[in-house]
Structure 1
């Protein structure tokens, strides 16, 4: 990998970036949460002070536990139970990503989490898609072109995966590009949802699986070999199958070699991994080794509110820790674009006509 002057957030915001792993309910603006709580009657917020609320989310997420980290979503989901709220949150999500220089994003959410006040799953999906369309319109009006694809998630601890997979196929011509399962890994292996993944496969539809974040190699192996995952949501624990000797020689185990050889994309989320205890620090994150070994690594935000991050800030932290320069950022970005769930010609168009020219102007 190249070594250059550390790239700053200001520098990186100018670069075209691609985001594959970002949760809609993990990226709300604190002010929006306060205003939606007031307008929808949600009374569970720990504070109505915007600045304090933003700090609270980050501090609550810095627990070192995935389960505790996930508890913060009670508040964001709590204010996203109406069509108007969903449209607003989705539109602002796209605006914020475009303002950070993201040119293509796949944003995921679980429709089943937003039906507490009577919305149907179809109403949820249509509201979010309307919000994404409005966000793209606003972004373009501000000089930022962005394309947004939707990933529908099923919560792995519930029993609605087949139903959500059917919705992902039904809405795939209306902006939904794929399917995922999310939620706590321990005790809820991906094989619990084999029927959903089989449905996606027979319908020639795309899916990724959260695996190898809080749980280890078994979760990754099941996601790939039993379920047929095209990408791994996080996948950071693949490093457990890589051994480095005292003299620096690296040896890949069978699973790690398979993941690398098959070019299975890893949706790495550095700051989130530190917060949930998957890794000790950014400086100790295995992304440096995985990139050096040329796994198909991508850089993602996971939950921008909880981590207080953007794609640019994630790259800035990695640049400081590992010396990544523009050539590396471009490599990560093209990895992500190659791994997106949109048509090949559309991916190629963004790579050749947006991403490569964008970096050529920066190098």
Structure 2
């Protein structure tokens, strides 16, 4: 066991505070990672505040981890000391079900082990990336290409793969009109990735406040959803809408923006249930869907794609002592576009 410094929430809704945690000794197929950077995801706030249900405390959040391998177990074949690596939202799965065998560990039917607020196969609670080090099985670690600096790569481990997976699955590319709903941590990466895939990209945001940023990052068009004319003008326009919004929406209104056979895919996860008139789906053979992160192979594919196209996240680097302030700023949409913790300050 190794004692490391970390930032943890001692109880639900409590401010995070500096503490120490124990990391397990390196097992045969484990890698020990010195964490350099950890992104702050809105999911961290949902879980710290039990917005998605009962959680495990004390909680060390963080599932956007970028660092360097400092030790490997004797059976490790994929990584060596000194490798630049990342860890995303999960650190294990059953590895035997149909989804795991197909590289879709995020949909493990036995339930995957989340990077934090989870329980491993050994019965131990998992602690995330707001810490100095982490120990992870090599099969749930990905390589960060040299073309990506570690600080801008960290948010790709959640924000990047969360939008890349549905864009790939629903075939975003040349000839497709894609709308990104919400211009935040996930949304700004969706704009970058959809543009790099060759799609015609429209941002749908509450206001035009971030329009210049959206166009700079690759959007072709930018509309305010607070303007009723937007829904009149764009009716029947899109093949795919990716919603990154974690608040309840008028799904009927947004479904009206789809072409026949279009899909509205949710990657944002509101805490409240939604209501839906099914006629908004039936008329136009439309799909209302959801998508969760990506498997390990797809996450590596995403990182390689982002490196090829020079797609790092837009970040604001902070010290660990600023985490609680950063949480409040995320809730106020006051970040462009992802806070990243400098782990050397933990």
| TM-score calculated relative to the size of structure 1 | 0.31
- Which of the pair is proportionally richer in helix? 1
Length-normalised TM-score, structure 2:
0.32
- Judging by fraction of residues, say which structure has more strand: 2
